[in-house]
Structures are given as structure tokens and as C-alpha cells.
């Protein structure tokens, strides 16, 4: 994903995000050498050094924020990440293969979790329990049970937990949502969202000796142990249910989150899925061609289409969301939007840019204010969008149309589907609050 082009843009966005807090801080009197909330250095530890390197650079670009730790279970990644980060930041950074070293450091304020999906909620729960705030990449959980538990952990420990759906902090996207909610296209009742890519096959893997540079036991962590397989690490675990959530949980979460935000819906009452593995005959277990329908109270609906092996999505775009209302429609591009009247004539077009830094800045502002309600993607909102992905996958795996409780999304009257609400855990690793 693209990021703002220069540091002055980043700083302007950060100052805008925290302007109210900064004004209050200026008016306050600080006794002696104690730093104000705006001056105190916020310290970050990053877990998972693929996507995590982008997070490390985003946090480091903010005033009075310091990345102190880089962590990965692959020692080659750790070495490469440290060398890369040294070109970006002047201070030395500590490295580890075990994220628990970060949690033990009393100077660390935030755990940024960009490890594989099966780690997202368990590591974040452990971080909350250790008194850390959290930036957790999407999806915020591997299964619905973990998402609910993570909300409990954030509440019990009064921690700010932000999910990494960065479009929530995009000026253009926020402007589009404001227009929708103010009635620019009338009552909004339907949203389409999609993601298309051109992924190739992963072939057939074989059990193999774990490479010396990978701590595979810690990589699996909370997941019950499976043999090391040649075609899963470091990315293709996404397509294996034991560790990942398919394209729906990998990239679908971004567009579905926008659909839910625009429609102003929380939990569905009915979920239907169709699709499968249509393109390649390989080890992938998750759908490469997938369509999911979510129905909500008050006659509203979201449709998501995933094409993992064909880049031609709706409107020819690989990513997007459209909204349809009584007086017109709106289409979100990757970072901007287009507004149409009821005859599909374009009446407004706005471009935007990536918001990785702005999303990190929003978390920092909320921590400084000790106010989780300031978060653009507070963990309960992140869970609601992630839950849609889980329900879509459960409907796909069971072949059933799911009836859900509209107050919390829980599955009704289907024992097989309900059994997928949570997973089994490796002994000693089950998350708890």
C-alpha cells in the first residue's frame, strides 16, 4: 500500500489528528522535569517482520515515537530487518525471536502485531494482559471466539487496541463516509465489495526438516502442532485453515469493513456463501473464487466477491466498494471515491493517498489522551468487520446458509457451524483474560 510521499505531509496529518489534545496540553502546567503527554516518548515493539517493517517505519516517522524492538521467528528476517531499519532510523534497535521479550520490557508501550493470523488475537491478548497497548494487523483474530476475547482483554486492562484497516484513517475515505451518512445518496441499503488478484499455484508440499533459521515451534505458537511443510512458510499459510483465513480474511476484510462502515451495520442475520477452488489443483484449502452475501436488519445487504486468480474485479479494479441508495450511488476506489446521481452520472470525484502513518498516529493520539474512543478502528469495530469474514468462511466450509443473532453475530441452530466458532489450542497457549 502506498504511503504519504514526504515527512511534512506525515507531520501535518499527525498534528491535525492530535490538535485538540495538543491545545489542552499547552494550557496545562507541567511541574518540574516531567514530560507532558505530547512530549513523552512512546515506545513500540514490532512482531512479524514482513508487513511489520512497514509498521516500524510508520511509527518511527511520528514525533516522540521510538521503535525499540524488532521480532521474528526467522533469524534471517531479523537480520535483514535490522539492517534495513538502520538505514531508516538513527538509533539502535533490539532484536529477538520471541515476542515475549517485548512484553517483558517495562519501557514498551505498544506491541505492533504483524505475525501470521493465528497469532493476531493470542499475542494481542497477552500484550493487553502485560499492560501494553496494541496495533494488531487485520484480521484481528483467527476465529470469532478470539475476537470476543480480545475485546474483553482491552476492556479489562483499559488498553487502546487498534486494528490495521488503514482506510479508516484516510481523509478521503472519511469524507466519503460523512457524505453517505449525511444522506448524499439517500437511504443506503446495498453495498458491493471486492478484491481481485493474480495468484499462482502453490503446488504440493512435502514434510521436511525445519530450516535452522526458523523457530517453527514458536511460529506455530497457539496452533496445535503440524509437521513443517515445504510450501507454507512464509506466505502460503494464508490458504490453510489451520493458520489462515483465505482471501476473505486476508484482503476481503479491507473492503468489507468499508461496506459495513458505509451501511452503518453491525451484525448480520443471514450469511450465504458460494465458490471454491476453481483455478488450480494444489494444496490450498481456501476458496480462490468466492462470493458471500450478508443480510442485516432494516433491509440492508453486503455482497463480497473474491477472485484470487483473476485480477479483473468489478469496474476493472482489483479493489473497491460501491454503495447504492435511493438517490444515487458511490464507489470507493483504493483511496478515494466517486459520487453518482440516480442516473449513474458522476457528480464528484476525489482522489486520496495511503494512510498507514495516519492510522498509527491515531493510535498514538488515543494513548496520549488515555481515550480508546478516539481510535478510528477500536477493537470492537475491528472485530465486527473481522467477524463477517469468519462467518463467510464458516458458511463456505459447511455449505450452509447461516442464521445469526443480529445482536452479536452468533450462529443459531447449526451445530456444525457453531463448532467452528473457536479452535483447539496447543497446550499451554490457549489465550485467556
Asked if the domains at 7-27+36-168+358-377 and 171-203+229-353+383-418 fall in one CATH topology, the answer is: no
Categorize the per-residue pLDDT at 103 as very low, low, confident or very high, splitting at 50, 70 and 90: very high
Q: How many CA atoms lie within 13 A of 181 on its CB side?
A: 13
Q: What is the structure's pLDDT at 330? A: 98
**How many helices (H) and strands (E) would you count in the chain?**
14, 16
Q: Are 340 and 333 in contact (CB under 8 A)?
A: no
How far apart are the C-alpha atoms of 119 and 235, rounded to whole Å? 14
Q: What is the structure's pLDDT at 33? A: 56
Choice between 15 and 92, residue whose per-residue pLDDT is larger: 92
In terms of Cα–Cα distance, which of 65, 90, 52 is closest to 14? 65
Mean pLDDT within 404-410:
98
Q: What is the structure's pLDDT at 36? A: 77
Q: What is the structure's pLDDT at 38? A: 77
Listed range (19-33, 199-213, 340-354) with the worst mean pLDDT: 19-33
User: Is residue 397 scored above 50 in pLDDT?
Assistant: yes
User: Is residue 110 scored above 90 in pLDDT?
Assistant: yes
User: Is residue 363 scored above 90 in pLDDT?
Assistant: yes
Mean pLDDT within 398-422:
98
Q: Are 307 and 195 in contact (CB under 8 A)?
A: yes
Map grid coordinates 492510522 to a residue. Answer: 359
What kind and span of H or E run contains 365? helix 356-369
Q: Are 202 and 282 in contact (CB under 8 A)?
A: yes
Residue 208 three-state SS? coil
The grid coordinates listed for 352 are: 486520496
Q: Where are the domains of the chain?
A: 7-27+36-168+358-377, 171-203+229-353+383-418
How far apart are the C-alpha atoms of 140 and 147, rounded to whole Å? 7
The grid coordinates listed for 211 are: 530450516
Average pLDDT over the chain, rounded to an integer:
93
User: Is residue 2 scored above 60 in pLDDT?
Assistant: no
The grid coordinates listed for 236 are: 502460503
The strand pair at 289-296 and 300-307 is best described as: antiparallel
The strand pair at 188-196 and 411-412 is best described as: unpaired
The grid coordinates listed for 15 are: 498534528
Beta strands in 197-256 (DSSP E): none
Mean pLDDT within 327-335:
97
Q: What are the strands of the beta sheet with 328-332, ordered from one edge?
A: 346-350, 337-341, 328-332, 319-325, 188-196, 300-307, 289-296, 270-276, 402-404, 411-412
Q: What is the structure's pLDDT at 7? A: 39
How far apart are the C-alpha atoms of 339 and 179, rounded to whole Å? 9
Q: What is the structure's pLDDT at 357? A: 98
Q: Are 381 and 165 in contact (CB under 8 A)?
A: no
What tens digit of pLDDT does each residue of 213-265 get?
A: 999 999 999 999 999 999 999 999 999 999 999 999 999 999 999 999 999 99
Q: What is the structure's pLDDT at 37? A: 76
Matching CATH number, 7-27+36-168+358-377, of 3.30.70.980, 3.30.300.130, 3.60.20.30, 3.40.50.720: 3.40.50.720
**Which CATH superfamily is 171-203+229-353+383-418 part of?**
Dihydrodipicolinate Reductase; domain 2 (3.30.360.10)
Categorize the per-residue pLDDT at 34 as very low, low, confident or very high, splitting at 50, 70 and 90: low
Mean pLDDT within 94-108:
98
DSSP assignment string, 51-76: HHHHHHHHHHTSTTEEEEEEE-SBHH
What tens digit of pLDDT does each residue of 152-206 get?
A: 999 999 999 999 999 999 999 999 999 999 999 999 999 999 999 999 999 999 9
Local structure of residue 264 (DSSP, 8 states): T
The strand pair at 411-412 and 319-325 is best described as: unpaired
First to last CA, the chain: 34
Q: What is the structure's pLDDT at 20? A: 40
User: Is residue 30 scored above 80 in pLDDT?
Assistant: no
The strand pair at 270-276 and 402-404 is best described as: antiparallel
Choice between 12 and 253, residue whose per-residue pLDDT is larger: 253
Residue 180 three-state SS? helix
358 contact partners, CB below 8 Å, separation of at least 6: 4, 13, 14, 17, 166, 169, 170, 171
Mean pLDDT within 316-337:
97
The grid coordinates listed for 310 are: 483473476
Local structure of residue 293 (DSSP, 8 states): E
Mean pLDDT within 58-73:
97
Amino acid at each position: 500500500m502506498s504511503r504519504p510521499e514526504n515527512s511534512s505531509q506525515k507531520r501535518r496529518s499527525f498534528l491535525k489528528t492530535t490538535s485538540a489534545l495538543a491545545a489542552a496540553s499547552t494550557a496545562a502546567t507541567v511541574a518540574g522535569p516531567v514530560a507532558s503527554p505530547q512530549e513523552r516518548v512512546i515506545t513500540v515493539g514490532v512482531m512479524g517482520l514482513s508487513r511489520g517493517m512497514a509498521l516500524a517505519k510508520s511509527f518511527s516517522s511520528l514525533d516522540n515515537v521510538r521503535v525499540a524492538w524488532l521480532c521474528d521467528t526467522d533469524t534471517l528476517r531479523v537480520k535483514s530487518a535490522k539492517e534495513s531499519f538502520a538505514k531508516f532510523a538513527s538509533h539502535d534497535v533490539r532484536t529477538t525471536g520471541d515476542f515475549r521479550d517485548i512484553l517483558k520490557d517495562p519501557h514498551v508501550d505498544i506491541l505492533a502485531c504483524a505475525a501470521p493470523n493465528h497469532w493476531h488475537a493470542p499475542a494481542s491478548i497477552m500484550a493487553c494482559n502485560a499492560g501494553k497497548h496494541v496495533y494488531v494487523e487485520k484480521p484481528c483474530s483467527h476465529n470469532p471466539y478470539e475476537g470476543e476475547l480480545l475485546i474483553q482483554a482491552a476492556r479489562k486492562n483499559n488498553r487502546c487496541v487498534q486494528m490495521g484497516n488503514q482506510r479508516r484513517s484516510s481523509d478521503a475515505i472519511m469524507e466519503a463516509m460523512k457524505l453517505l451518512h449525511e444522506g448524499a445518496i439517500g437511504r443506503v441499503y446495498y453495498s458491493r465489495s471486492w478484491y481481485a488478484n493474480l495468484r499462482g499455484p502453490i503446488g504440493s508440499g512435502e514434510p521436511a526438516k525445519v530450516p535452522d533459521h526458523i523457530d517453527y515451534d514458536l511460529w506455530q505458537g497457539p496452533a496445535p502442532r503440524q509437521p513443517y511443510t515445504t510450501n507454507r512458510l512464509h506466505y502460503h499459510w494464508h490458504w490453510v485453515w489451520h493458520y489462515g483465513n483465505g482471501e476473505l480474511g486476508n484482503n476481503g476484510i479491507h473492503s468489507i469493513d468499508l461496506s459495513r462502515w458505509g451501511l452503518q451495520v453491525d451484525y448480520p442475520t443471514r450469511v450465504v456463501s458460494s465458490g471454491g477452488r476453481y483455478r488450480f489443483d494444489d494444496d490450498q484449502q481456501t476458496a480462490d473464487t468466492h462470493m458471500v452475501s450478508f443480510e442485516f436488519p432494516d433491509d440492508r445487504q453486503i455482497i463480497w466477491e473474491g477472485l484470487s486468480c483473476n485480477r479483473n474485479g468489478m469496474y476493472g479494479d482489483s479493489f473497491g466498494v460501491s454503495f447504492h441508495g435511493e438517490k444515487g450511488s458511490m464507489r470507493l476506489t483504493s483511496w478515494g471515491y466517486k459520487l453518482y446521481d440516480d442516473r449513474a452520472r458522476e457528480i464528484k470525484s476525489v482522489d486520496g493517498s495511503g494512510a498507514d502513518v495516519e492510522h498509527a498516529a491515531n493510535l498514538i493520539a488515543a494513548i496520549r489522551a488515555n481515550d480508546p474512543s478516539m481510535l478510528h478502528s477500536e477493537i470492537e469495530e475491528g472485530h465486527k468487520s473481522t467477524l463477517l469474514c469468519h462467518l463467510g468462511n464458516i458458511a463456505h466450509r459447511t455449505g450452509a446458509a447461516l442464521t445469526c443473532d443480529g445482536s452479536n453475530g452468533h450462529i443459531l441452530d447449526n451445530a456444525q457451524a457453531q463448532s467452528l466458532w473457536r479452535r483447539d489450542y496447543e497446550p499451554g497457549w490457549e489465550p485467556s483474560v
